[in-house]
Amino acid sequence: MAFKLTGEDACKKPLPTPIPNPYWVAFSAASARLIDLSLGRDNLPSDPTWLEVLAGNNPINHSEIFPNPISTAYSGHQFGVWAGQLGDGRAILLGEMAGQELQLKGAGKTRFSRMGDGRAVLRSSIREFLCSEAMYALGIPTTRALSIVGSDLPVRRESVETAAVCARLAPSFIRIGHFEHFASLQNTPRLKELADLLINEHYPECKQSQNNYLDLFTRICERNATLAAQWQSVGFCHGVLNSDNISVLGLTMDYGPFGFMDQFQIDHICNHSDQGGRYAYHRQPQVMHWNMACLASAMMPLIELTADVDEAEKLLRSALEQFPLIYAKTWQSLFRKKLGLASSLDRDMDLIERLLQAMHESRIDFTNFFRKLSDVKAGATVDQIPLRDNFINRPAIDQWFSDYLIRLNEESSDDLHRKQRMDEVNPKYILRNHLAQVAIDKAKEKDFSEVATLLRVLEKPFEEQPQYESYSYPPPADLSRIEVSCSS
């Protein structure tokens, strides 16, 4: 198991709390292949006891498969404020299979639940399950979702809902908060043990570095800078980018009040609990950078093992300054690809920024615009482009399309090859909130067919799938303002 730290300051050994009469809500065959889990014809585990295991109902602490389930302690900053010790309040790590950690979310109280009940609800479990697999299909690093097991057990949130347990997979669930935890306790031996574990199992290239802990920090920054750029490129908002929700492997994790934008809004807030807009779309890169600064502070004692305080600060500051450079380079590359530009010119940034500003002002559907942009022919005239009709400021967008056509004609590839390239990076299908809500509403009536259908669609986001064309449509007016919160 990747998280091998032991002791009172590292982890506790909880026993999952059984749920009555569990039943399958959803299952990902693709994720099951990651752990070599044998499936039957119905794409469910061929061994029926897995329903009980993934519900948290087996006496797992006596199981030969998962003898030592744990929940881990971590600390962190929440909405920019130090929150002290947190920990896996509703997550129980069962163990490792085929290099993947298997974790149950919602399987009952742990030592770190504080005032919580340790449960997850059907609504939030469906959203996390679908988005985890959707993000993977989009090519964005993420934890994976294996299953949802439901129960009629009542759970109180903003209203009374029913319980569900979501099984998650990742090479490791270690987060920035784990480093912050040991740093806050001034427990440098444990901090070093954690960093060494991470290097040995996930960053072996750091072993060859002259300063392996600084190199580890640098590589974590690189991964998360790239991740933030990838989120921006598909219009994804995480919702709660607290430092304890940030993976040190650069994975999207802890899906709560997330959302893919429908109408593009630069300052879009997907979490109605975020009244100050700290985690709005346009602030995600800045906040991720801030979280890397939290990690730098936590790793400071490790850098001081081979350098004095001033030198350690200088080294970490220099490494941290690379974050915005890596982010900007990745972001520019991704948006050039979205526009179908194979070459790179300095004026491309002006073209991209003007387009996003125009989309913001006219609230253009982010996903559909870029998908349909591949239909524009380099030899077209501006008045032959239907997309312009959706913009309020016609003179401005006409000028933009005029400049875009000039830019396309500077490229060497033909329209067909450019369209193929664009359709490989501009998805047709994303997990829109209204689609998730339809699936949730049906699931509440014990109809899980829409969850399965959405999974099939989202597993192939770049394909046309004509039978599911309606799943690419923007939300109807009555479903365009679905709100999610930290309980989602």
Q: Which residues are catalytic?
A: 244
Task: Give every CB contact of residue 478 below 8 A, 6+ residues apart in sequence.
Answer: none
d(CA 182, CA 180): 6
Q: Is 182 exposed, middle or buried (0-12, 13-18, 19+ CB in 10 A)?
A: buried
- Residue with structure tokens 């933030």? 228
Token pair belonging to 384? 């032959």
Supply the DSSP symbol for 245.
G
Which amino acid, 180? E
Count of positions (residues) in the chain:
488
Query: CA of 277: how far to CAs of 199, 283, 356, in Å?
Result: 35, 8, 19
Q: For strands 11-12 and 23-27, give the pairing.
A: unpaired
d(CA 232, CA 243): 19
d(CA 461, CA 472): 10
Q: At what angle do helices 415-423 and 322-338 cross, to 10 degrees?
A: 130
Let me know: does 279 contact 241? Beta carbons within 8 Å.
Answer: yes
Let me know: does 120 contact 56? Beta carbons within 8 Å.
Answer: no
Largest CA distance in the chain: 71
SS (H, E, C) 355-404: HHHHHHHHCCEHHHHHHHHCCCCCCCCHHHCHHHHHCCCHHHHHHHHHHH
